[in-house]
């Protein structure tokens, strides 16, 4: 085994245990730092939001540590602050996430905070109203942000009639409709130990970390917990759709254009990822950035992204432009996509990106936080504990023909979703 491989997490140094109530724990010991990172998730994300109360999952996650049966908000803040620790909850489409860091001797504090939040939050009314005010302010700011609004419109086009069309942040109307009882009921009806994943990485023996989690959470049950929601497939658009969202008084316009892309576990994901890097990520934002921003001066920024998860992904280009140059920029991007679809990438471009992917992997796994995130990905997508040991071989296995094939499979220019926001 090479030195690179032995430094990466693998089956010989990751401890994985599944508790009787369904919580999966993954631990990796690292005594090079005195700290420990705890991170994880459970399937209670915004896919469970009722139509009339979008934003409920996110609101609930934000409210969890505003008070529990054992500590009020100030006591929670003081307990963390006094030992230089951090901890919090968040939400996305599929899951509620949680995480924090502390010195290794304070791991029990983080696990205690997690247990309190999962099992006995009180959702104090005064804090609910403060959070509501923050959400409404954030949504008002979002409504004036051309980049955010272009992304919202893009999702509405690409994911029409699909759960992914909704924003997890909700709307002013839905946030105003959410009550304290809604938060408590959502928590009671969706939070549970089944399919929860928790990682601990840092200066602690795995057996010790697992014992602390089991002591605090091993007896947690929720008979009301629903099964994981299934995400429907999505067909590509039948034709090109372009939509503009007008925001008065703006000096910049933002655009997003793209297609449905692969899921994270699709066989062609790695080819799409490397192809995307050449197209709009590598160096100064790849070919897209070079042509649209550097050579033509049409954009303040321009890049492409691949968003691949459990459900249908998205492969898209984003750019910020002068409002007078929107159509010029769109035309130029489409021409660059045509070249990509017709010719793929060069041997030199592919080798550069492969070298970058492999070379940056150890850097991304240097910190406890990076390893914790990696362990969560391994578990979420069932990649296997040795995934990162095999990763360089997976990257090197991608060929020029693979990238050409994946470009032609997903990038159908006649089915393009185009969203713009600006004056």
Decide if 99 contacts 39 (C-beta within 8 A): yes
| Crossing angle for the helix pair 387-396 and 368-380, to the nearest 10 degrees | 80
Distance separating alpha carbons of residues 19 and 193, to the nearest angstrom: 9
CB atoms inside a 10 Å sphere around CB 368 = 23
Separation between Cα atoms, residue 340 and residue 279, nearest integer Å = 8
Among 299, 286, 268, CA closest to 336: 286
Q: Is the whole-model pTM more than 0.85?
A: yes
List pLDDT tens digits, range 312-344: 999 999 999 999 999 999 999 999 999 999 999
Report residue 343: phi and psi, to 5°.
Answer: -115, -10
- Residue 2: pLDDT band by 50, 70, 90 thresholds? very low
* Mean per-residue pLDDT of the chain: 94
Residue 7's pLDDT band (boundaries 50, 70, 90)?
Answer: confident
Strands 35-42 and 96-103: antiparallel
Torsion over CA: 69, 75, 80, 86 (sign): positive
* pLDDT category of residue 1 using cuts at 50, 70 and 90: very low
Topology annotation, domain 6-217: Cytochrome Bc1 Complex; Chain A, domain 1 (3.30.830)
* Confidence at residue 4, expressed as pLDDT on a 0 to 100 scale: 54
Tokens standing for 348?
Answer: 């030199």
Q: Classify domain 241-422 by CATH number.
A: 3.30.830.10
Mean pLDDT, to the nearest integer, of 110-131?
96
Write down the pLDDT at residue 5.
Answer: 62
Query: Tens of pLDDT along 69-97?
Result: 999 999 999 999 999 999 999 999 999 99
**In whole angstroms, what is the distance from residue 393 CA to residue 387 CA?**
10
* 250 Cβ neighbours under 8 A, 6+ residues apart: 144, 146, 323, 422, 423
Distance of alpha carbon 153 from alpha carbon 249, whole angstroms:
19
* Per-residue model confidence (pLDDT) at position 300: 87
Across 392-403, average pLDDT: 97
**For 25-59, how does the pLDDT look when each residue is reduced to its tens digit (9 = 90+)?**
999 999 999 999 999 999 999 999 999 999 999 99
Decide if 6-217 and 241-422 have a common fold: yes
Domain ranges in the chain are 6-217, 241-422
């Amino acid at each position: 085994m090479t030195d690179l491989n032995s430094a990466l997490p693998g089956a010989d140094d990751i401890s994985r245990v599944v508790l009787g109530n369904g919580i999966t724990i993954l631990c990796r010991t690292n005594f090079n730092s005195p700290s420990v990172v705890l991170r994880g998730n459970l399937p209670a994300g915004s896919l469970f939001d009722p139509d009339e109360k979008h934003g409920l999952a996110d609101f609930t996650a934000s409210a969890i540590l505003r008070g529990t049966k054992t500590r009020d908000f100030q006591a929670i803040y003081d307990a963390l602050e006094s030992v230089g620790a951090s901890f919090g909850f968040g939400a996305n489409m599929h899951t509620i996430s949680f995480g924090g860091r502390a010195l290794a001797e304070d791991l029990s504090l983080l696990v205690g905070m997690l247990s309190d939040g999962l099992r006995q939050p009180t959702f104090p009314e005064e804090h609910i109203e403060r959070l509501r005010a923050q959400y409404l302010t954030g949504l008002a700011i979002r409504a004036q942000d051309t980049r955010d609004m272009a992304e919202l419109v893009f999702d509405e086009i690409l994911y029409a009639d699909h759960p992914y069309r909704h924003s997890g942040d909700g709307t002013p109307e839905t946030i105003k409709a959410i009550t304290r009882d809604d938060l408590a009921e959502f928590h009671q009806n969706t939070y549970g130990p089944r399919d929860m994943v928790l990682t601990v990485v840092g200066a602690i023996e795995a057996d010790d970390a697992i014992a602390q989690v089991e002591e605090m959470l091993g007896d947690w049950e929720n008979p009301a917990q629903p099964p994981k929601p299934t995400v429907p497939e999505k067909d590509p658009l039948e034709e090109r759709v372009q939509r503009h969202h007008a925001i008065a008084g703006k000096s910049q316009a933002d655009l997003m254009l793209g297609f449905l892309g692969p899921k994270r576990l699709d066989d062609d994901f790695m080819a799409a990822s490397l192809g995307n890097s050449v197209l709009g990520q590598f160096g100064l934002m790849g070919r897209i950035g070079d042509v649209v921003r550097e050579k033509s001066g049409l954009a303040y920024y321009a890049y492409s992204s691949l968003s691949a998860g459990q459900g249908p992904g998205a492969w898209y280009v984003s750019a910020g432009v002068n409002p007078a140059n929107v159509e010029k920029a769109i035309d130029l991007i489409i021409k660059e996509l045509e070249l990509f679809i017709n010719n793929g990438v060069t041997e030199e471009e592919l080798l550069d990106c492969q070298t970058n992917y492999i070379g940056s992997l150890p850097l991304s796994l240097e910190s406890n936080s990076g390893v914790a995130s990696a362990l969560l990905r391994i578990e979420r997508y069932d990649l296997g504990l040795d995934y990162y040991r095999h990763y360089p071989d997976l990257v090197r296995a991608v060929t020029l023909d693979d990238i050409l094939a994946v470009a032609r499979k997903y990038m159908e220019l006649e089915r393009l979703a185009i969203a713009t926001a600006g004056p």
